[in-house]
Chain A
Amino acid sequence: MIDKQVEDVAQALSGITDGASVLVGGFGAVGQPNVLLDALGEMGVKNLTVIANNAGFEPDIGLGRLIGRGCVSKMICSFPRGSSSFDTFYRAGKIELEVVPQGTLAERIRAGGAGIPAFYTPTGVGTQLAAGKETRTFGKRDYLLEHGLAADIALVEAWEADRWGNLTFRGSGRNFNPIMAMAGRLTVVQAQHVVPLGAIPPNDVVTPGIFVDRVVHVPCGDPPIAKVATAQGGTK
């Protein structure tokens, strides 16, 4: 019998070692595998390379906390702002940063999971982020060569999971999670709900279980209320 569900978070993360590359899903407060990140920090692993859209937010939650504990030596992300722990480590020269345009980051991860070693994209041509990259002209337009990005581990947050690892997501919690599940050599899912095999209608499966290695039930509830935009365009 295939059963990818594990008893607890410790089992879900067992075998992760110093120096691992780790894909971390989530965008804003939604779809963040925060419980897995906290447990990873408590394991005391060092020199992680973390690939995520942001570099965490609050210093006491999830990726911000993992960075604050000194576990991360390199961030690959599109928008490392709004994270006090990242700021502190970056300014102290204790963390390396690779900034990648958000769509290039997503496509590199998708390609990494899909067996595509590299691809050409129009994003970033003629900018500082093109430095050192091959440029090639197709038709009348220039494109940059970008490389697929797979990693040792993917940490994913899902709405539902079954024992085969089939997943659904809720709201904007999908974000990077499905493509990261594809690109992790070991994909670990924290799921709000674990349901019986067959309970997710096949038409509704977003991530097929083939991309998932471990599922742990973490009913951590709704994300916190985010900033609410005002009619003046500011936030409060």
Chain B
Amino acid sequence: MTAGTYKPWGKLDIARRVGADIPEGWYVNLGIGLPTLVADHIPEDREVVFHSENGILGMGPVPAPDEVDTWLVNAGKENVTLVPGAALFHHADSFAMIRGGHLDLCVLGAYEVAQNGDLANWTTSLNDRVPAVGGAMDLSAGVRNVWIMTTHTTKDGQPKLVERCGYPLTAGKAVTRVYSDLAVLDVTARGFVVTDMVEGLTRDELQKLTAAPLHYA
């Protein structure tokens, strides 16, 4: 196949890949935005329990418009539902689950991921906006597996996978895997190891869009 004939994975393609890789029985926190899509892409024969940091385990799908319970919101402040077996608790217990290493996985977005797993996803500067961190630092420091869902480059074509983060860190050595719209990469002691990539994309092309050396399994 000639260079330049590849088509990046769409948001739903990425969500499907992430969903397919989450094992039975895992407790999972999905960050706001793109990662919330994963909830709809867990294989039907698999039980996965979703956590919301404002005090929900067993968060279910978005309600039908006539079935909204306004007493239930998720971390993005959207109305959600509960599945049978769900539990409600306060914020300190919720973050004990996060910080205490009880969650198996969180899926987050990123501005930058470094080859050692450093994550920058909370602010691009402390000067130009009101700084706001939410639960991102707790999740990335506390949860065993941190997977990132992101485009491979910024809107301007700048690599988001880098040798060292330039933006302020959310947590050091936190990310274990990246699902971009071009590739799936594990973060290892060697750096980024590509385990899957878009059909038609060459290794050279992927390397040019990545600001850290790529390795292959």
Which residues of A pack against B, CB within 8 Å? Answer: 27-30, 53, 78-81, 86-87, 90, 97, 99-104, 106-107, 109-110, 121-129, 169-179, 206, 222-233, 235
Complex CA–CA separation, A48 to B171 (angstroms): 32
The answer on a CB contact under 8 Å between B137 and A123 is yes
Nearest CB of B to A89, in Å: 11
Nearest CB of A to B4, in Å: 28
The answer on a CB contact under 8 Å between A177 and B90 is yes
B6 contacts partner chain A, Cβ-Cβ < 8 Å: no
Q: How many residues of B contact A (CB 8 A)?
A: 52
Partner of A172, one of B88, B138, B142: B88
Most chain B beta-carbon neighbours within 10 Å: one of A170, A172, A225: A172
Which residues of chain B have C-beta atoms less than 8 A from A97's C-beta? 130-131
Complex CA–CA separation, A126 to B164 (angstroms): 13
Complex CA–CA separation, A218 to B76 (angstroms): 27
B132 contacts partner chain A, Cβ-Cβ < 8 Å: yes
B21 contacts partner chain A, Cβ-Cβ < 8 Å: no
Which residues of B pack against A, CB within 8 Å? Answer: 11, 33-34, 36-37, 40, 52-56, 62-63, 65, 68-74, 76-80, 88-92, 94-95, 98-99, 126, 130-138, 141-142, 168-172
Which residues of chain A have C-beta atoms less than 8 A from B95's C-beta? 102-103, 106-107
The answer on a CB contact under 8 Å between B76 and A170 is no
Nearest CB of B to A124, in Å: 5
The answer on a CB contact under 8 Å between B71 and A226 is no
The answer on a CB contact under 8 Å between B126 and A104 is no
Complex CA–CA separation, A230 to B62 (angstroms): 8
